[in-house]
Amino acid sequence: MADAAVRSKKPATSKRTPAGGAPTAPHTAAEASEARIDLDRVTDMLLGTWADTRREAREMIKDPAFWRVDGLSMDEHRERVLSQMHLLVDNGGVHRAFPAEYGGAADNGANIAGFTELVAADPSLQIKAGVQWGLFGSAVLQLGTKEHHDKWLPGIMSLEIPGAFAMTETGHGSDVAAIGTTATYDAATEEFVIHTPFRGAWKDYLGNAALHGIAATVFAQLITDGVNHGVHCFYVPLRDENGDFLPGIGGQDDGLKGGLNGIDNGRLHFDHVRVPRTNLLNKYGDVAPDGTYSSHISSPGRRFFTMLGTLVQGRVSLDGAASWASAIALDIAITYANQRRQFDSGAGSDEVVLLDYGKHQRRLLTRLATTYASIFAHDEFLQKFDAVFSGQADTDEDREDLETLAAALKPLSTWHALDTLQEAREACGGAGFLFENRLVGLRSDLDIYVTFEGDNNVLLQLVGKRLLSDFGKQFKGKDAKALAAYALGHTAGKVFHGAGLRQLGQTVTDFGSTARAIERGLRADQQHELLAGRVQQMVTDVATRLRPASGLSPADAAALFNANQSELIEAARAHGELLQWEAFTDAVNAVEHAGTKHVLTWLRDLFGLGLIEKHLAWYLINGRLSSQRAGAVSSYIDRLCLRLRPHAQDLVDAFGYAPEHLRAPIASGAEQARQDEARDYYRVLAESGGAPISEKVANKR
């Protein structure tokens, strides 16, 4: 059962707007005489595999000491977040991923689940904690060996060693393999010499670098005996006990940013800084005292991606935090929309509740459906992450799948969060623009999430390449005849099905009601067929266009790939959307409670049809939908919104947020109180007989 202390306690929604031109949708499931969702069950579903950890974290951040305080200066905000970091340590909220022998719990899934909940307190706290324990600490844990763990992990865990994760450079962000910082081994002294040879090689945008960090995990090109062995990670002390940079180290404060100003981001540079040979985090590559390099992974490329793959948890946590930030935004906006009234019906009745307007349903309920899909997909993603990092399923294939999932889902959830926060802000009008109602602050703070841990488009390109690789494996060893037969079959299929009529049975149903045709022909199986078919055809089309690349010069092959880059990224995005739809469907199929299953099926259909509508031009151009059915998709989405409207408050209440988590006055019941006061005023005035009459009425007398 959901913790009653965590469940949101909002006032009942307002009564149904009277007829007379006003919208007629019931405001609640009870008014609609429909079975309501099992709120506790849906909350459990959304909180996912590590629901108890999420509840524990949510209970912790009810303490106002963890909350963002609006109006602080940058310096004040930074100091507040640092103090909150110490509170996290005191509450045992950051050690779940570390080994038990150092006081941790060795529970990677629970660690991410608890960590993502910090977004409800202050995203600056979430990200600074992520830098300290999820990046800096994780680099030592995942890339180092027991010698490094014994030496540094206790201090990292206790915050005695605040640190920076120095990977990104001013001149190279997502392209880590091309970073300019070097670590050249000096066998005479058994030291590595860390150096940034030019301005673009400065480490940049680093949390904890401007003020608080006393050490950093620095990524640099490892050079020994005149050979560059690629990017490796080194533990480098930064500051002395007085907080001053050590000799050879310099830096700058990044200053005020577009958001997350509770984090002391900065840049670092190194002028032939020497660190002991043993400061190389040498799990995947080592240098002997005489300078001999060794690694159990012979391929430099595979070694590089293995090292970076151990740090994938940053993308996992951003995916989760973005999904739950979207939930916060919709909880605020839908609660407000269920109470705020604007414009009368034209028949002298009460003003209309915002959520009764079709456009308002469209702008919020469609995003609610996507948020549910994103949260369900995140939990499956988190299960995969935990299986890999716990060793339960840690093959090369498992790690490759995990990295592909991370690169597919993190872009979708972070883009969705920005879109949802902006739409929620606009849907709340001027009240949404007030900082006290959280939406503008969250929007600013989450802006950089689309860039953190890899630019979203770069990540999707990685997914696209994996899709092409898997596509190519289908034909490995096949002769030209088999390939020709495949090409013929693919083309013939498109011609034979025309607009996909036979595939979806449209030849019959489209002669009847278009609404009935949509219901019969675009339910779960057909939605999946359309979404999966889009991915398959897009990958096939790109692969076909890229096939001549093997016979071209490197420059011409690169130009051919570049010409198809946008289509490849779009195919990868479609793949991510399919993964979300499948996760949502798996969740729906696991529900036994009839009312819950009914409502969540509508919500899943709203998500699926929303994706089809978004890409409707593609489906028409490629003959996957008839024009009649395509034209009916949008109208059916409107019908689904109307069906879901009575359940909207239940669906956001199921996120399980308490008032201490939302902290938005417009979602506190204050708006309902204002509306009730105004309606009582006009009712009493009308009953008194002293109410003035309008000029229009007076002129008719």
Shared domain for 693 and 563, answered yes or no, is no
Shared domain for 645 and 528, answered yes or no, is yes
Alpha helices in 144-212 (DSSP H): 146-158
Domain ends where: 254, 270, 292?
Answer: 292
Report how many domains make up the chain.
3
Q: Is the pLDDT of residue 514 over 80?
A: no
* 197 found inside a domain: yes
Q: Give residue-wise pLDDT tens across range 38-68.
A: 999 999 999 999 999 999 999 999 999 999 9
Shared domain for 598 and 627, answered yes or no, is yes
Shared domain for 550 and 515, answered yes or no, is yes
Q: Is the pLDDT of residue 313 over 50?
A: yes
Instruction: Check if the beta carbon of residue 320 is closer than 8 Å to that of residue 116.
Output: yes
Q: What is the mean pLDDT of residues 68-73?
A: 94
* 72 found inside a domain: no
* 274 found inside a domain: yes
Shared domain for 505 and 560, answered yes or no, is yes
| Distance (Å, whole) CA 555 – CA 261 | 43
| Distance (Å, whole) CA 534 – CA 522 | 15
pTM attached to this predicted model: 0.90
* 365 found inside a domain: no
Q: What is the CATH number of the domain that holds 231?
A: 2.40.110.10
Provide the pLDDT for residue 680.
Answer: 87
* 604 found inside a domain: yes
Provide the pLDDT for residue 490.
Answer: 44
Shared domain for 483 and 583, answered yes or no, is yes
Provide the pLDDT for residue 1.
Answer: 33
Stated length of the chain: 701
| Distance (Å, whole) CA 663 – CA 365 | 22
Per-residue DSSP letter, 533: H
Structural tokens at position 341: 């009234």
Sign for the CA dihedral angle at 655, 658, 661, 664 comes to positive
Shared domain for 186 and 250, answered yes or no, is yes
Q: What is the mean pLDDT of residues 234-243?
A: 96
Enumerate residues 6+ apart whose C-beta is below 8 A from 103.
95, 154, 157
At residue 628 the predicted structure's pLDDT band, cuts being 50, 70 and 90, is: confident
Provide the pLDDT for residue 11.
Answer: 40
Q: Give residue-wise pLDDT tens across range 254-271.
A: 999 999 999 999 999 999
Q: What are the Cα distances from residue 223, in Å, to 53, 186, 226, 231?
A: 44, 10, 6, 9
Q: Is the pLDDT of residue 641 over 90?
A: yes
| Distance (Å, whole) CA 7 – CA 41 | 12
State percent of the chain over pLDDT 90: 70
Structural tokens at position 483: 């390939």
Q: Is the pLDDT of residue 487 over 60?
A: no
The pairing of strands 215-224 and 227-237 is: antiparallel
Residue with the two structure tokens 């027991």? 146
* 678 found inside a domain: yes
Q: Is the pLDDT of residue 658 over 60?
A: yes
Shared domain for 482 and 532, answered yes or no, is yes
- The tally of CA atoms less than 13 A away on the side-chain side of residue 131 is 32
Provide the pLDDT for residue 699.
Answer: 78
| Distance (Å, whole) CA 451 – CA 174 | 9
Nearest-CA neighbor of 634 among 523, 515, 530, 533? 515
Q: What is the mean pLDDT of residues 77-97?
A: 95
Sign for the CA dihedral angle at 90, 92, 97, 98 comes to positive
Shared domain for 694 and 560, answered yes or no, is no
| Distance (Å, whole) CA 120 – CA 446 | 12
Burial of 609 (0-12, 13-18, 19+ CB in 10 A): buried
Instruction: Check if the beta carbon of residue 61 is closer than 8 Å to that of residue 84.
Output: no
| Distance (Å, whole) CA 328 – CA 419 | 13
Output 525 or 233, whichever has higher pLDDT: 233
Output 337 or 27, whichever has higher pLDDT: 337
Q: Is the pLDDT of residue 309 over 60?
A: yes
Nearest-CA neighbor of 652 among 245, 367, 284? 367
**At residue 608, what is the residue type?**
G
Q: What is the mean pLDDT of residues 560-570?
A: 92
Domain ends where: 244, 268, 292?
Answer: 292
Q: What is the mean pLDDT of residues 78-86?
A: 98
Residue with the two structure tokens 């310096």? 75
Shared domain for 178 and 275, answered yes or no, is yes
| Distance (Å, whole) CA 115 – CA 623 | 45
The lowest-confidence range among 121-125, 469-473, 596-600 is: 469-473
Q: What is the mean pLDDT of residues 264-292?
A: 98
Q: What is the mean pLDDT of the chain?
A: 88
State percent of the chain over pLDDT 70: 89
Burial of 162 (0-12, 13-18, 19+ CB in 10 A): buried
**At residue 200, what is the residue type?**
G
Instruction: Check if the beta carbon of residue 114 is closer than 8 Å to that of residue 161.
Output: no
Q: Give residue-wise pLDDT tens across range 423-432.
A: 999 999 999 9
| Distance (Å, whole) CA 352 – CA 358 | 12
Calculated CA dihedral for residues 449, 452, 454, 459, nearest 10 degrees: -20
Distance of CA 42 to the CA centre of its chain: 20
Output 80 or 309, whichever has higher pLDDT: 80
Provide the pLDDT for residue 631.
Answer: 87
Enumerate residues 6+ apart whose C-beta is below 8 A from 686.
none
Enumerate residues 6+ apart whose C-beta is below 8 A from 695.
none
Domain ends where: 232, 260, 292?
Answer: 292
Q: Give residue-wise pLDDT tens across range 334-358.
A: 999 999 888 875 555 678 889 999 9
Shared domain for 545 and 677, answered yes or no, is no
Q: What is the CATH number of the domain that holds 541?
A: 1.20.140.10
The lowest-confidence range among 171-180, 285-294, 338-347, 611-620 is: 338-347
Q: What is the mean pLDDT of residues 387-415?
A: 92
Output 25 or 274, whichever has higher pLDDT: 274
Q: Is 429 left (phi over 0), alpha (psi -120 to 50) or beta?
A: left
| Distance (Å, whole) CA 543 – CA 561 | 10
Structural tokens at position 30: 């009870």
The pairing of strands 215-224 and 163-166 is: parallel
The parent domain of residue 614 ranges over: 478-653
Distance of CA 6 to the CA centre of its chain: 23
Q: What are the Cα distances from residue 261, in Å, to 18, 54, 266, 629, 633?
A: 47, 25, 12, 49, 43
* 297 found inside a domain: no
- Strands of 552-619, DSSP E: none
* 312 found inside a domain: no
Structural tokens at position 509: 């149903």
Instruction: Check if the beta carbon of residue 464 is closer than 8 Å to that of residue 569.
Output: yes
Shared domain for 523 and 601, answered yes or no, is yes
